[in-house]
Structure 1
Amino acid sequence: MGSQVIFWSVNIKFLRLRQRLSQEALAEKLGISRVKLNAHESGRTANPTIDDLINFSEFFRMSIDSILKMDLSKLSDQKIRDLEEGSEVFMKGDQIRVLAITVDKDEKENIEYVPVHAKAGYRSGYSDPEFLATLPRFNLPTVPKNGTFRMFPTIGDSMLPVPEGSDIITRYVQDWTSLKAETPCIVILRGDQDFVFKQVTINKDGTMILQSFNKQYFAYTVPVSEVIELWEYYSFHSKELPEPQTDMQQLMRMLAEMQNEIKEIKKKSSSK
């Protein structure tokens, strides 16, 4: 990597101290030994591996490019927060998100299916081609050639009128800033949170509003740093036909629409 790693060691130490973590604590969180971490911080690791680059950048919510090329200690605290909490660099995903794929014998991208039992492993293996190779995969002639597609199962009734238990076919979103408000997406969250199928709106403050299709569920907000991947809705597969809305559901939908209209009117009047 040559001169590209000039700030790697000092930045790793700087980011660790900024979070008030000891080497032992950070090594444990990263799943590496303290000796290996110390080698990174002391500059003895001249050429970090791809796994190390991804591991550190995802933990610190900082693009690989920034950790390699920028002296972060020279930046203002606000600028560092911008990089961590939803900066243009992070949301565009040019450096921090590395997407692994599988292809068929004709070098055409497969559509991987992530079954329920593989969800936990997906969070740690989504960028690992060997993990993806263990997933069921298939091709559909109707799916556009441009883009990477993946299928995810859904659980629960928060996505109604899409029937519960449907499989959602989605397209990978590299540049999150390109999403329009309330875009339907499968959202892969960090930690032990489940995958969710929501209408996604990205705020300028580096947060995402996740709104259920079923209006009986309240919307909630998460930092973009808690999101690993976004997959935009393309189509769904189900063995069940969508049920027609009941009179009560129609009434609740009308009330929700009226509430949204009132909010918009209040916003417009307050901005005058």
Structure 2
Amino acid sequence: MKVGSNLKALRKRKSLSQEEVAQALGMNRSTYSGYENDVALPNIENLIAFSQFHDLSIDDLIKKDFSEFTEIDWTKFENQWKDAAKGSNLRVLTAVVDNNNEELIELIPEKARAGYVSGYSDQEFIQDLPRINLPFLTKERKHRGFAINGDSMPPLPSGSIVIGEFIQDWTNIKSGTPCIVVTKSEGIVFKFVYNNLKESKSLVLVSSNPMYQPFSVSSADIIEIWKFSAYISKEIPEVQMDAQQVNLSFRNIHLDIQRILDKIEQNQKN
């Protein structure tokens, strides 16, 4: 592991002091200095924090040797996110087909969510997943279903299956698009995506429930993105109405009842 020397090289690349980096990461300078000087090894939480701060993967942080980088190496490394985000580095999807050689939609249930983050490209893992066919979805796009839980994205009920369309080029995602985002650190999340890739090499993920704070993920942390196409649920979403909507609803019900009574009265007269 080359964490210490890499942290030092990355910090100097940004022309920051140890104190500035430590403050940005919410730790004291002596603790951070210990990591740079290999006095202590950072835990997984700190490795994630370092990777997000420097917009790189944990794998790069612990395996590459940034202390040996030339300016050409730095330029190439700092621009590699563009190839990844645009899908220039081909993302190979493992697919399952039926007897008619048509692709089926794999479903990632709750119990398989953790395994998907590491097994998304494993053919055996994908083939063991449950699968369905949804004829109303275009056959020209690859779709996959993901189980979601919790109350962060109403009106979708917890336990719904979100069907997503695979997105090859992340740079074209319009801000506000609901997507399944598969990440190394957060796992599988369903959020509204706000695209900051060109500005900060990151996406901001926002819940529809205001009780949940938005958070950002770096492009290096992203594995896959699937744009919302449909969802499957055994529950009818709850709809919250304000006072004006409730009054209007009762007024419409009253009018409907009155029409029914008028019709009954008219029939009795006839």
TM-score normalised according to structure 2 size: 0.62
Name which of 136, 139, 142 aligns with 2:136.
142
Q: Secondary structure at the match of 1:75?
A: helix
Name which of 101, 116, 133 aligns with 2:110.
116
Structure 2 equivalent of residue 66 of structure 1:
none
The answer to whether the 8 A contact 1:153-1:167 is kept is yes
Q: Closer, same or farther in 2 for the Cα pair 1:90/1:104, shift >3 Å?
A: same
Q: Closer, same or farther in 2 for the Cα pair 1:96/1:73, shift >3 Å?
A: farther
Q: Which runs of 4+ in 1 moved over 3 A?
A: 17-20, 57-61
Q: Secondary structure at the match of 1:209?
A: strand
Letter in 1 for 2:212: Y
Name which of 195, 205, 208 aligns with 1:202.
195
Structure 1 equivalent of residue 237 of structure 2:
242
Structure 1 equivalent of residue 51 of structure 2:
none
Q: Secondary structure at the match of 1:130?
A: helix
Q: Which runs of 5+ in 1 are unaligned?
A: 1-13, 21-28, 30-56, 62-71, 251-272
Name which of 214, 225, 228 aligns with 1:230.
225
Name which of 104, 109, 120 aligns with 2:98.
104
Aligned length: 190
1:138-178: CA deviations, max 9, x gaps? Answer: 21111101110001111001110112221111111111011
Letter in 2 for 1:75: I
For 2:58 and 2:84, locate their aligned partners in 1 and report how far apart those are by CA, in whole Å: 10
The structure with the largest alpha-carbon Rg is 2
Structure 1 equivalent of residue 145 of structure 2:
151
1:50-75: CA deviations, max 9, x gaps? Answer: xxxxxxx99449xxxxxxxxxx8561
1:119-156: CA deviations, max 9, x gaps? Answer: 12111110111110000012111110111000111100
For 2:132 and 2:157, locate their aligned partners in 1 and report how far apart those are by CA, in whole Å: 22
Give the C-alpha shift of residue 77 in structure 1: 2.3
Q: Closer, same or farther in 2 for the Cα pair 1:75/1:19, shift >3 Å?
A: farther
Q: Secondary structure at the match of 2:213?
A: coil
Name which of 161, 166, 190 aligns with 1:172.
166
The answer to whether the 8 A contact 1:154-1:167 is kept is yes
For 1:58 and 1:140, locate their aligned partners in 2 and report how far apart those are by CA, in whole Å: 37
For 2:75 and 2:134, locate their aligned partners in 1 and report how far apart those are by CA, in whole Å: 46
For 2:129 and 2:117, locate their aligned partners in 1 and report how far apart those are by CA, in whole Å: 14
1:66-109: CA deviations, max 9, x gaps? Answer: xxxxxx856152442232xxx32110122153221111122111
Structure 1 equivalent of residue 257 of structure 2:
none
Give the C-alpha shift of residue 247 in structure 1: 3.5
Structure 1 equivalent of residue 78 of structure 2:
81
Q: Which runs of 5+ in 2 are unaligned?
A: 9-43, 45-56, 62-68, 246-270
- Alignment RMSD, CA only? 3.1
For 1:80 and 1:96, locate their aligned partners in 2 and report how far apart those are by CA, in whole Å: 18
Letter in 2 for 1:99: L
Letter in 1 for 2:77: I
The answer to whether the 8 A contact 2:165-2:226 is kept is yes
The answer to whether the 8 A contact 1:163-1:240 is kept is yes
The answer to whether the 8 A contact 2:117-2:188 is kept is no
Letter in 1 for 2:221: E
Give the C-alpha shift of residue 226 in structure 1: 1.0
